[in-house]
Amino acid sequence: MRATGQAIARTTKLPSGDVLPILGQGTWHFGAIPGRRKDEIAALRTGLDLGMSLVDTAEMYGDGAAEELVGEAIAGRRGEVFLVSKVLPQNASRNGTVAACERSLSRLHTDRLDLYLLHWRSSYSLKETIEAFQALLQAGKIRCWGVSNFDVSDMEELAGLSGGSDVSTNQVLYNLTRRGIEFDLLPWCHQRTMPVMAYSPIEQGRMLGHPELQKVAERHSATPAQVALAWILRDKEVIAIPRAGEPSHVRENRGAVDLRLSEKDLEELDRAFPPPRRKVQLEML
């Protein structure tokens, strides 16, 4: 199994100018089971040791439990971390977004977020949420903002609003079995030099038994998970944020950065997991 202890050299840049590693760490379901807390904290710290400095969480995850766990994991290391959290749609009014951010900061034991995302479209107007993000920027509570689970029409609406062009990223479901964004959303973001964050990049492990994925992995003396992540990372403007609840899984994920897939590999994976030929409604988990 490929593994390395070196810092991640492959990076991408947000419109804000922030330079990020192409592989980060997700925390969905973290903090949900007390017996796993020690391993989850150790996993996050291992990731930081390996250069996976982007840590993604959300107020929704465990109703704040994941943020509390992240806060404990990064204690004393805040300066190493590019910290991302998200506001729930039901909290995304102007005042509600500010209040939600303050709660997240308290749980994370920090005075600022590096990136704050709207988790998905809200019944509140985008204009109102943007105003809240701008207020948080001015107060120094966040360094930049973005969105999650936005399709092309949502992004175009956002970009047409005052301040909407300041959006830094769109975090969406993307993996070998969920390639719909390649038809229109991914090109839209690429044209604007806006990196995409891919959540659930290995489909929570459900794809790993696929014979074609295993064949490519064997060819490279790698694991299917590493191949699935390397496939995501073939695009220099896509950041993968897999969740790994144990240090060994973090090390496995880190090995994907050094795995380069050949044209033959990519062609075989395209046959096994065909790209979209028409518009596909944006998928969410």
Domains of the chain listed by start with CATH number: 11-272 (3.20.20.100)
pLDDT at residue 2, as a whole number: 42
Check: CB of residue 198 under 8 Å from CB of residue 241.
yes
The 10s digit of each residue's pLDDT in 137-179 is 999 999 999 999 999 999 999 999 999 999 999 999 999 999 9
Pick from 35, 113, 103: nearest CA to 74: 113
The 10s digit of each residue's pLDDT in 183-195 is 999 999 999 999 9
> In the beta sheet, which residues pair with residue 199?
173
Which regions of the chain are under pLDDT 50?
A: 1-5
> 12 — phi, psi (to 5°)?
-140, 170
Rounded Cα gap, residues 105 and 162, in angstroms: 27
Binding residue per annotation — 249?
Answer: no
Secondary structure of residue 181 in the 3-state scheme: helix
pLDDT at residue 85, as a whole number: 98
Rounded Cα gap, residues 104 and 85, in angstroms: 8
Interhelix angle 224-232/211-219, rounded to 10 degrees, is 90
Catalytic residue among 61, 124, 174, 199: 61
pLDDT at residue 7, as a whole number: 66
Rounded Cα gap, residues 135 and 137, in angstroms: 5
pLDDT at residue 3, as a whole number: 44
The question of whether 124 is a catalytic residue gets the answer no
